[in-house]
Amino acid sequence: MKERKNLPEAELDIMLVIWYEEKKEGEGVTAPRILEKLERPLTASALHSYLKRLEERGYLRCEKAGRVNRYVPLISEEEYRRQESGSILERLYGGSLKAFTAALWDGGELSLGDLDEMRDFLDELSWRRR
């Protein structure tokens, strides 16, 4: 997968709608549907500008279906999450998962239950690698 730039918040909100609707419907998403599902107010004109930008950057493809354009994601939500989490980990914590976890703990973002869940997950990953 080619490296793509991180999405600004407004574009990410649009992609989240597209990914969700695509999983549900599986045939692309129309601009009116995106506007309906977005949690932020946006004009049709602004949405079309964002969609064009996402298309130019390789996140979407626009397919003509009669008189309607349907927008189809070219990158999955899971691919984007992997890319974004790796980027954040590298940029903010020098690639150290330990430093990232320590920051969450020190910031009060992790509970003991979260740590137990992480420990179980790591044990499971370790078991799979054997």
2 pLDDT higher than 70: no
Mean pLDDT estimate for the chain: 90
First to last CA, the chain: 28
1 pLDDT higher than 60: no
Better pLDDT: 88 or 61: 61
In this prediction the pTM is 0.79
Judged by DSSP in three states, 15 sits in helix
Q: CA 83, CA 1: separation in Å to the nearest integer?
A: 10
Long-range contacts from 34-41, C-beta under 8 angstroms, 24+ separation: 34/71, 38/13, 38/14, 39/13, 40/10, 40/13
For residue 3, name the pLDDT band (cuts at 50, 70, 90): low
Query: pLDDT tens-digit profile of 67-111?
Result: 999 999 999 999 999 998 888 888 889 988 888 888 888 888 888
